[in-house]
Amino acid sequence: MPRVLVNMPSQFGGRPSGVARVAFRVIAGLVERGTFAVVLRSPWTRDQLPPAIRDRIEVVTVPRPRIMLLDVLRQAFAVPRLCRALDIDVVLNADPYGAAFGGRTRVSVVHDLYFRTLPGRHRSREALTTDPIFRLVLANSARVIAVSEATRSDLGRHYPFLRDRSHTVPSAAMLDPSACDPASDAPAWEFVLAVGNAMYNKNFGTLARAVAALGRPEVGIVHVGEDPDEAIATALDGAPVRLLRLSRIGEGRLAALYRDALCLCVPSFAEGFCLPVLEAQALGCPVVCSDRSATPEIAGAGALTFDPSDAQALTACLRRLLDEPGLRAALIARGHDNARLYDWAETARRYEALMLDALRDAARGKPAREVPHAHPAP
């Protein structure tokens, strides 16, 4: 049985980021399929891992690096040694902050290119260090997996040499639709739900301004995530809009918020995939999202879209939800249909197929070749 090293040193141990959650779902799928033996190299200890994979894989725990560029250079020597010791066939980098060498071949996952695609970010300090990492690791990967067609398109535009070896393999909803928290106390007032840490790309200030302009005192905002700079409250600028801020809540409470919300709003300037869109659709929550980047691709027909630079356009969408009979029910129905198109078992199968294909190429001594795109997003 071939052995795969899932390499994820960049994520904090015990803190389930989006990258880590995707990696764990893929690992669970690979274990169920039984084609690969899985070794996880990351800052996570065995006890911190999800029960579905905790006792079914080998675990190599490493400290999270403080300087990513230096660690990527160090991995160029450390990971090949580990692969020889553990008889690894494929290195699967859970993101590009991984190993450029090691195993018989490598496959790397790209979740976003914000350092390239967000206005003003391409000349930042982050971009100056991230770009050489991407070039080193991805250039030495036989296959590159993008989580959406939008991300794959960004890859092709900024790194043309990857076009023939990049493939789209989307994720799926993670939140259990049956999740329930009996103690959950949803707001008694109507609310727009925002999910995610208030980073620049999330553009939550536009949501705040749009709800303030709505002029409906019965409609407030619930934000699930961190907002250390008070971006939402600052954008409200004293407007009489209720704001409830929550963070690190359980799945049951989050599921209840999705079910009770007027809608999930995703006003992002850029998203690599955006899991909350599918989580909302699976739980019967209408989606109102940006018409840029990956969000319209992932949301499909189950969403109202708007220009994220135009708060008035978002206000108009929210008014439609409140005032047009039947619109909310139609979005919920279309959202359910869309969410069913994404499936973790299929995602794992496509990862497996790409890794096996990369291994075949390595055995023949051939360079990466183009294969049909893996499970393109609907």
Write the pLDDT tens digit of every residue in 82-93. Answer: 999 999 999 999
Q: What is the mean pLDDT of residues 217-239?
A: 95
Residue 216 shares a structural domain with residue 251? yes
User: Do 146 and 14 fall within a single domain?
Assistant: yes
What is the per-residue pLDDT across 209-227, written as a single tens digit (0 to 9) for each? 999 999 999 999 999 999 9
CATH code: domain of residue 147: 3.40.50.2000
Range of the domain at 309: 190-339
Three-state secondary-structure class, residue 324:
coil
Q: Tell me the β-bridge partners of 144.
A: 108, 166
Q: Which residues pair with 167 in a beta bridge?
A: 145
Closest-CA residue to 235 (of 262, 212, 218, 214): 212
pLDDT at 377 over 60: no
Same structural domain, 206 and 157: no
115, 202: one domain = no
CB atoms within 10 A of CB 72: 25
Alpha-carbon distance of 334 to 277, in angstroms, equals 13
49 lies in some domain:
yes
362 pLDDT above the threshold of 70? yes
**Pair 36, 165 in one domain:** yes
User: Which residues make beta-bridge pairs with 192?
Assistant: 221, 263
Do 107 and 128 share a domain, yes or no? yes
- Average pLDDT score over residue span 99-124: 88
Residue 293 lies in a domain: yes
Bridge partners of residue 97, in order along the sequence: none
Q: What stretch of H or E contains 92? A: strand 90-93
Q: How far apart are CA 195 and CA 176, in angstroms?
A: 16
Rg of the chain over CA atoms, in angstroms? 21
CA neighbor of 174 nearest in space, from 94, 279, 250 = 279
Name the band, by pLDDT with cuts 50, 70 and 90, for residue 350.
very high
3-state helix, strand and coil shares in percent for the chain, rounded to the nearest 5: 45, 15, 40
Q: How confident is the model at residue 138 (pLDDT cuts 50, 70, 90)?
A: very high
Number of folded domains in the chain?
Answer: 2
| pLDDT single digits (tens) 41-65 | 999 999 999 999 999 999 999 999 9
Given a cut of 60, whether residue 375 has pLDDT beyond it is no
pLDDT of 125 > 80? The answer is no
pLDDT at 301 over 70: yes
376 band by pLDDT with thresholds 50, 70 and 90: very low
Q: Kindly state whether residue 210 falls inside one of the protein's structural domains.
A: yes
| Domain-embedded: residue 378 | no
- In a shared domain, residues 74 and 128: yes
Looking at the fold, whether 197 and 307 belong to one and the same domain comes out as yes
Rounded distance, CA 154 to CA 162, Å?
11
To the nearest whole percent, how much of the chain has pLDDT over 70? 94
Average pLDDT over residues 119-141: 84
Residues 222 and 106 in one domain: no
- What value does the mean pLDDT take over residues 192-208? 95
pTM equals 0.91
Same domain? 46 vs 162: yes
CA atoms within 13 A on the CB side of 156: 13
Q: Mean pLDDT over all residues of the chain?
A: 93
In sign, the C-alpha dihedral spanning 153, 159, 165, 166 is negative
C-alpha span between 330 and 332 (Å, rounded): 5
Query: Are 149 and 233 contained in the same domain?
Result: no
What pLDDT, on a 0 to 100 scale, did the predictor assign at position 341? 96
Q: Could you tell me if residue 185 is inside a domain?
A: no
